[in-house]
Amino acid sequence: MLGEPGFRGQGGGWSRSRPGVAHFVAFWESRAFYDSFMARSHDRLAAAQVGTFKDSQVRLFEHEFDVKVGFEPVFADIDVLRLAHSRVREDRVEHFTLMQEKVWNPAMAGSPGMVRGMLGRAPGEEFLVLSMWQSAAERGKYRPERVERLALRAQIAADVEALAGDVVQLEPAWTV
């Protein structure tokens, strides 16, 4: 992967709540570089991994904006990823993204141990919030009661049709 044109980095690990579930996030300079990789090198690399996993799902998201500042796909200074995947009501997309920027982003950026993150959007009304944390202990300081208050303030129930999330313990050997 390191020699692939446009490849910026990859990290992954095991779900902390769902045994046997792994998550990977990979970053590319552009969709054109990703498409080129899929057309040229993907099948060769995938063939070497046959039988090592099942039920793979892939989703592509375009970067909308950073959580904190200067997002970089660097994994050496973090131990935990938090993934929040949302399907947003079509008429609430503008409000949802505004609340990500004005409510959620400052709250996460001010949380101890939150290193960096980003909001990505897939075609339609599908979003991914990725936050990178120094450790599970630091991520644990982002308390459920605080999240509930923020959710009320952001009117998340009015914006979101479906929300799925996971906390991922990074496997350093999976970092590229």
The amino acid present at 66, given as its one-letter code, is: D
Q: How confident is the model at residue 13 (pLDDT cuts 50, 70, 90)?
A: very high
Reported confidence tier of residue 143, pLDDT bands at 50, 70, 90: low
Indicate whether 1 belongs to any domain. Answer: no
Are the CB atoms for 64 and 126 separated by under 8 Å?
A: no
For residue 56, is it within any domain? Answer: yes
pLDDT exceeds cutoff 90 at 104: no
Q: What does residue 82 show for φ and ψ, rounded to 5 degrees?
A: -120, 125
d(CA 111, CA 90): 30
pLDDT at 18: 92
Residue 107 counted as domain residue: yes
Question: Structural domain of residue 50, as residue ranges?
Answer: 7-174
Q: Does a structural domain hold residue 118? A: yes
pLDDT of amino acid 45: 64
Across the chain, mean pLDDT equals 86
Flag the least confident range among 9-18, 38-47, 115-124.
38-47
Structure pTM? 0.85
Question: Is the model's pLDDT at 106 over the cut of 90?
Answer: no
What is the signed CA dihedral for 58, 62, 125, 21, rounded to 10 degrees? 30
**Residue 149 predicted with pLDDT over 90:** no
The CATH number of residue 30's host domain is: 3.30.70.100
**Residue 49 binned pLDDT confidence (cut-offs 50, 70, 90):** low
Residue 109 counted as domain residue = yes
Name the domain count of the chain: 1
Region class of 172: left (phi > 0), else alpha (psi between -120 and 50), else beta: alpha
- Coil, strand or helix: which one is 117? strand
> What are the residues facing 13 on neighbouring strands?
23, 170
Number of Cβ atoms within 10 Å of the Cβ of 128: 19
